[in-house]
Structure 1
């Protein structure tokens, strides 16, 4: 069993994918699974065709990333193509995309069944699901996956991203390409798997009830315009602005996802913009009646926490087995990356150290999915999700 990564920053799609493939082939032979992460300026059709031709026996899943990508070689700003490959002769993998006019819930169920069929393991529960869908309906997608399986199999994932949140995200497998849809991969590895999902933000103690919502618009908190309450919490005037993504990145809204030893852990919702009726558009759903907490993070925490999330994945399973990591996957929020972009080399350093300098890939996404320590799969914003693979 082996994991390898490669990266190329050539601007032309054909040069970048060829360079990344050449580097990958020097490290690994006959991978069963290839993941591709790339900036929006690259031609996903060409990447798909070249990868499929070079690796005809591999399952492939590709997803666009915001303004670069990170690997064990470091942080790569602006543009580039990163490949992650796993060779596991005793394991199995299957990828699929569904892009139809059906609901995200139904597309997720169909994508899951197609991926399991492509893995050659019908009737078996996967050990892990990697999810990459277009942004907007991630909660429905997770619900569809869980309802189809009947058991909450661990999910790690991130929503496809572009450079400036204008809809230029892209997804592909060896079989299909799309802009809007559900892409995923099922894992049946012959190794041990550990995972972690965290926010790294702390509640400041202030909270309010969502008294009116519509889709991803939080219209009222405590029966008042949501932006009024949020402005009071953040201490800044925001009602005259449209996009508040940058100003809200250190102060998202949190909901309690569960508790460990009576201490709550949170899933976050990142405010995107102020609506005409004084509401706040979010990157995640909020239901009426939910309690929302005012959260706070710091740039220092954004820089160090990726390593801590990976350490947590080690801690979760180290009590029952001796760990010998061979590599992993990390999902890092694009909003967090943009906030500390000039210090992302430090983030790469902490992740490399936590990964024991094993191969990893890390896209920058517009929503993160993972499984909390309590077993809940969830979608959140400004979060980090990580999975590690360990030799038996």
Structure 2
């Protein structure tokens, strides 16, 4: 297996892909078996997809937009039109990608996408080592359920919800054949080497908690019988305000004050899966970027700029250690909301990762939702999370 990563700062599709091709040494190495392209929405998705197919072939091409840009071994590019690539050449492995509109039934669409991807990998009916996922924000829980129905509950599903620069819905997903605004891209990976992945957050519980007493989908109405917006404002000591009159965005306010659910204990320590409050409504309800259920115990979580900056490097170190310290490459998913909160310190985030990876090729994307597998559990969708997935040097 050979892995290479590349980044372009040209801000143009054709020139950017030419730069990517040169860095990946496509003329010498040939078309990769798997190519992930992640990009800021300043680049037009359909033009990017069509040019990439022409330049790299229509094999396992996986595309998804990333908030403001990307990061990697060459640094951070968050000017709005950054472009990054992560490529694998692996004659002993198998890779397959497909994309599909979510339609009316996101779970069924995810099942179909997984089956198609397995067929494209020439491994129908088999269980992949990993699924790399890019999905439109909104129905990630149903997508994960659909994927697990095909690949099983234990398979590593990791990736992120596609993003734009300002939560205006300009995000995009693409596979070899089409671009989507409300779709998903699925790549199944059967690599010839071992994989390790870590999925965490940079937040801690304050100790304040309550029970969901009324919720409809991702709209949380009541905690302990009280309007959710009032509860969150009280728990955060007023850092997250309530709506007076019209609904208002609280994404920025709530970035350091999300809500968390304990989904499992890891070595006796509770693992909190986070949900990001997005909108406060005049009726006291809150719209979320991840679903909660009636009866869930919600904890007020708190983060700091320092914790968000430091966490990515710690996750990288843990993942590398889990792989035996020798790795060939890595994919990093870092929440777009966290990135925006520490935007002026993203060079520190990137440097913290590089301190552990050195010259190992890696690519980082900024997402509006993160999918991963906590230690000892199954795949989940959460917000304000970080994941790192590394490809080791040992044979499977």
Q: TM-score range by the shorter chain?
A: over 0.9
Structure 2 match to 1:287: 293
Query: 2 CA distance for matches of 1:149 and 1:361?
Result: 25
Structure 2 match to 1:74: 75
Asked whether the 8 Å contact 2:214–2:225 carries over to 1, the reply is: yes
- How far apart are 1:257 and its partner, in Å? 1.4
CA RMSD between the two structures: 1.5
Query: 1 CA distance for matches of 2:234 and 2:7?
Result: 45
SS class of match (2:196): strand
Structure 1 length normalisation: TM-score?
0.96
Query: 2 CA distance for matches of 1:50 and 1:8?
Result: 15
Deviations 1:244-271 (A, max 9, x none): 1111111110000110232101100011
- How far apart are 1:100 and its partner, in Å? 5.0
Structure 1 residues 121-270: aligned runs within 5 Å: 121-236=123-238, 238-240=241-243, 242-270=248-276
Query: 2 CA distance for matches of 1:200 and 1:258?
Result: 17
Structure 1 residues 285-364: aligned runs within 5 Å: 285-318=291-324, 323-364=325-366
- Candidates 112, 118, 121, aligned match of 1:116: 118
- How far apart are 1:44 and its partner, in Å? 1.5
Change (3 A) 1:234 1:57: closer
Structure 2 match to 1:52: 53
Structure 1 match to 2:86: 84
- How far apart are 1:96 and its partner, in Å? 0.7
How many pairs align? 388
Change (3 A) 1:156 1:65: same
Asked whether the 8 Å contact 1:32–1:57 carries over to 2, the reply is: no
Query: 2 CA distance for matches of 1:311 and 1:11?
Result: 32
- How far apart are 1:42 and its partner, in Å? 1.0
SS class of match (1:206): strand
Query: 2 CA distance for matches of 1:75 and 1:150?
Result: 36
- Candidates 365, 368, 385, aligned match of 2:370: 368
Range moving further from structure 2, 140-149 or 249-258? 140-149
Query: 1 CA distance for matches of 2:30 and 2:14?
Result: 22
For the pair 1:19 / 2:22, whether they are aligned, the reply is: no
Asked whether the 8 Å contact 1:256–1:267 carries over to 2, the reply is: yes
- How far apart are 1:389 and its partner, in Å? 0.3
Query: 1 CA distance for matches of 2:391 and 2:266?
Result: 25
Query: 2 CA distance for matches of 1:81 and 1:28?
Result: 21
Deviations 1:266-311 (A, max 9, x none): 1000111101210111100011100000001111111110111122
Query: 1 CA distance for matches of 2:358 and 2:376?
Result: 26
Query: 2 CA distance for matches of 1:104 and 1:256?
Result: 26
- How far apart are 1:57 and its partner, in Å? 6.0
Deviations 1:192-218 (A, max 9, x none): 110000012111111000100111111
Query: 2 CA distance for matches of 1:54 and 1:377?
Result: 34
- How far apart are 1:28 and its partner, in Å? 4.6
